[in-house]
Chain A
């Protein structure tokens, strides 16, 4: 059985690039091979049927192909090779199917699983994969401008089509918006996260986290009180870790002018840190991560509580945890010192002091 190598490229914006190798397979075989962004399974059911499953991250797209014959194939219902219709295909599969055709030296009519659905290039498609449904991304969403993304998110009817909204929220995280757009988007995204964290739909998780990251990244320090409700624990989609992380990043990029400028918010973050700073909790990686993110956020917002918190860290005597906390606070100091405008004196001194405590 010889092995052949096939390369396919496509010059779309994000280059749906497919590169894979496959073996010359027997008609009844199933093979699983890796391609650049995941795996695909190619299963030849019979001479005129094929199933291809293309995995991209957590998504698996399933397609069926049916041999439609050629002009020379008098047994086929489809005698006109030009009648090949490629319906409802995304770019990757388009490329993949070209390769199947090359390999089998005949045209194939393909349609997405499940066969009877309408072609839908403009909306997200919800597919059943195993026991859970997943969103797939449609080409049109990848082509949207920042204006179109902002409008689509802010559309009062947006939540009527949750699969599409979820994917637009993810795309928004890669998009640069104007200050005016951000002013509208940030509260909407944070409110979406708050509403959807109890939806009970696990598919909302990625969009909720992304909405928090994008929404929070647009905030100035004066707007950060809007994040308080997202620090609340006990929701089916956990939002506190990503929110604490973003608080740290907001103040790392936009340092406060004075110590304790954000006292109420700092108190809540401090509660999180205190609740997790014990030797039992930090043996669990996620709790340790949360505790360190909270300490980072407190230091970045120049909360005077930070000093007491790092003293608790010292008292714990867990060397790796102390080292990691120290390392991250030193990184914050390095980020602040690389700013063109120096950080205000008192926040800087507070940070220097807490670092010294841990050294």
Chain B
């Protein structure tokens, strides 16, 4: 199954498949992604499903699923991602705002003097990307040169609030545009042949915020 829109009918998902939720009132804009956190299960458009995701907070929670995609992952890879999650889960019982970043998609908080890592902040897409990196799958090219410009209007759709000075707290300084990794890009990365997903990261293009 490539990445699909569930209007095409129900699909059976496996653990750590990628699930996405669209913005309300926006038919195609994907505002959020996470990892499906159940054993094999059939889901249909709008079902509320259990996910591992950076809400924020990073948690085992639920989202309404509208779009789905998968590599697919092998059982061994699922074990690796589960083990990785056990290593970081102690780092997230904190204020949701403090564990979240928009740009870059992940960022380590380090001690200022020793540079020892304390914990990692994520965006929702960043968490999905990093989980796949644990099994050596680079879903997206995330270097700034590879990412399309994202304008305040799109940020407003993605996050539901007016861009303003507060954005700098999440890594978006100035008035934009920014090179932000958006949730929809992850679905486009998964809408490719299996071997290509594993072989090379997808280069997002303008318009990929919709799926």
Cα distance, A206 to B77, chains bound together (Å): 29
Q: A37-B96, A57-B95 are in contact. Are A217 and B118 (CB under 8 A)?
A: yes
Q: A15-B97, A213-B118, A285-B85 are in contact. Are A177 and B112 (CB under 8 A)?
A: yes
- Set B87, B91, B112: member contacting A293, Cβ < 8 A: B87
- Set B56, B86, B97, B169: member contacting A288, Cβ < 8 A: B86
A214 / chain B contacts, CB cutoff of 8 Å: 111, 118
B159 / chain A contacts, CB cutoff of 8 Å: 17, 19, 36
Cα distance, A3 to B162, chains bound together (Å): 20
Residue of B nearest to A170 (CB): B94
B84 / chain A contacts, CB cutoff of 8 Å: 289, 324
A241 on the B face (CB < 8 A): yes
CB of B85 within 8 A of CB of A210, answer no
Residue of A nearest to B156 (CB): A7
Residue of B nearest to A173 (CB): B118
B193 / chain A contacts, CB cutoff of 8 Å: none
Cα distance, A49 to B112, chains bound together (Å): 49
Interface SS of chain B = mixed
CB of B116 within 8 A of CB of A19, answer no
A7 / chain B contacts, CB cutoff of 8 Å: 160-162
B165 on the A face (CB < 8 A): yes
Q: Please tell me the size bucket of the interface on A.
A: 35 or more
Interface residues of A in 214-264 (CB under 8 A from B): 214, 216-220, 241-242, 245-246, 249-250, 252-254
- Set B134, B160, B169: member contacting A15, Cβ < 8 A: B169
Q: A19-B160, A320-B76 are in contact. Are A253 and B90 (CB under 8 A)?
A: no
CB of A327 within 8 A of CB of B136, answer yes
CB of B24 within 8 A of CB of A21, answer yes
Query: Besides the contacts A37-B55, A217-B118, what 11 more A-B pairs have beta carbons closer than 8 Å?
Result: A15-B170, A56-B96, A177-B112, A177-B113, A178-B113, A210-B94, A213-B118, A217-B114, A253-B115, A289-B87, A319-B76
Question: Could you jot down 30 A-B contacts, CB within 8 Å?
Answer: A5-B25, A7-B160, A14-B95, A14-B166, A15-B166, A37-B56, A38-B55, A38-B96, A57-B93, A137-B95, A173-B109, A176-B112, A177-B113, A178-B113, A179-B113, A209-B93, A213-B119, A217-B110, A217-B116, A219-B114, A242-B90, A252-B117, A285-B86, A289-B84, A293-B87, A320-B80, A323-B80, A324-B80, A324-B83, A327-B134
